[in-house]
Structure formats: C-alpha cells, structure tokens
Structure 1
Amino acid sequence: MALQWMILACVVAAEAAVAALLTLPAPRAVRGQIVGLTSMFLQPFAGVLPFAGFQLLDIYWKKEHRLMCTTEVCTAEERVHFEKAIFKAQRNVILCVSVFLLYWSIYRICKINKDIKALEEIEKRIKEE
C-alpha cells in the first residue's frame, strides 16, 4: 500500500517541477521547446489520473467502513491508532487532489503558450500583408 502513495508522491513532485519549469521566464526558443516536449508527454501521463481517482475511492470506502473510536470505550492506544489513520487519509487525499490540480495546471499552461504562439504567427502574417 505504501508503494502506491510513494508513486503518487513522486508524480506530484515531478508535476510540480514541470509546472515550475513552465512558469519560469525563458527565451522564446527555449520556452517553445519546453512547451512542445511537455505537451508531447501530457497524454501518456494522463494515465495517473484514473490511478489517483481509484485511490480517492479507496480512501472514501475505508472511511465509510472504518471502526469509529470516539467513545470512552476505546483505549488510548486505539485512539492514537485511529487518529494516525485519519491523518494519513487526509494526507493522501491532499496528494490525490494535487495530482489532478497540477496536471490541469500544466495542461492549461501548455495550451495558453500554444495559443500565444498561434496568435503571434497570425500577427506576423498580418504585418507581412
């Protein structure tokens, strides 16, 4: 189970690095290469989205079927274990949501850069005429 969360953590780190790379100022030629390369890899990397969605469903299912330890019947050790499980679930939800948000951000940044490039080409053609 921990391997799945390790994979998602690595994906989030990679997506954050790519998003940072896309938003850093760079010359047009370099930016065009970065955007082109990132756009090329966006579709294969979309495979992580169903994986993250499945993990969210798994967290929800475990939350619904978890034994509650809120009464005075529970021992201190059981209560600590319950609270740790809740904190881990919250961390994992944040991780899954981050995958979706970062992927969407990268997609939109690439789309905006492509639109800007297309508008610059149109402007260039209009000026030539």
Structure 2
Amino acid sequence: MALQWLILSYVVAAEAAIAILLTLPSPKLIKSRIVALVSLILQPAAGVIPFAGFQLLDLYWKNEHRLMCTGEVCTAAERDRYEKSIYKAQRNAILCVAACLLYWCVYRVSKYYKEIQNLEEIEKRISDASEIS
C-alpha cells in the first residue's frame, strides 16, 4: 500500500516541477519546446486522475469502516495509533487532490500557451497580408 502513495507523491512532485517550469519566464524558442514536450506527456499522464480518484475512494471506504478509538476503553497507544492513521489519511487525501489539481493546471497552462502561439501566427499572417496589398 505504501508503494502507491510513494508513486503518487513522485507524480505530484514531477507535476509541480513541470508547472514551475511552464510558468517561469524563458525565451520563446525554449518555451515552445518545453510546451511541445509537456503536451506529448500530458495524454499518457492523464492516468493519474483515475488513479488518484481510486485512492480517494479507498480512503473514504477505509474511513467509513475504521474502528473508532475515542472512549475510555482505548489505551494511550491505541489512541495514538488511531490519530496517526487519521493524519495519514488526511495527508493522502491532500496528495490525491494535489495530483488532480496540478495535472489540470499543467494542462491549462500548456493549452493557453498553444492558443497564444496560434493567435500570434494568425496576427502575423494578417499583418503580412496587409503589407503585401
């Protein structure tokens, strides 16, 4: 089970690095190459969305079927273990949501950049056509 969360944390770290790389100012040629590479990676990387969704469902199911340890019957060690599992579940839920949000951000930024490139090309063609005539 820990391997799934390790993989998801690496994916979130990679998505964050890509998002930072996309939003940093850079020369137009380098930026277009980065966006082209990210666009190629986006479609196969979309698998992170159902993976994170499944992990969220798993967290929800485990939360609903978790034994409660809040009464006088529990020892201090049991109570600590219960609280630790709650904190881990909350951390993992934040990780799943972050994976989905970062994927969406990377997708939108690359799509906006492509739209800007297309508009610049159209503007260039119109200005070239107006200079010719």
- After TM superposition, the score normalised by the length of structure 2 is 0.95
Question: Which runs of structure 2 are paired with 1:1-129 in the superposition (5 Å)?
Answer: 1-129=1-129
Distance 1:48 1:102 in 2: 10
Identical-pair percentage: 67
- How much has 1:49 moved relative to structure 2? 1.3
RMSD over aligned Cα, in angstroms? 0.6
- Alignment gaps of 5+ in structure 2: none
- How much has 1:22 moved relative to structure 2? 0.4
Distance 2:47 2:5 in 1: 15
Q: Which stretches of structure 1, 4 residues or longer, exceed 4 Å deviation after superposition?
A: none
Q: Larger Rg: 1 or 2?
A: 2
Aligned residue for 1:7, secondary structure, equals helix
Q: How many residues align?
A: 129
Amino acid at match of 2:118: A
Superimposed CA distance per residue, residues 62-105 of structure 1 (whole angstroms, 9 cap, x where no aligned partner):
00000011111111111000000000000000100010000000
Distance 2:77 2:43 in 1: 46
Distance 1:32 1:124 in 2: 17
Superimposed CA distance per residue, residues 14-42 of structure 1 (whole angstroms, 9 cap, x where no aligned partner):
00000000001110110000001100110
- After TM superposition, the score normalised by the length of structure 1 is 0.98
- Alignment gaps of 5+ in structure 1: none
- How much has 1:48 moved relative to structure 2? 1.6
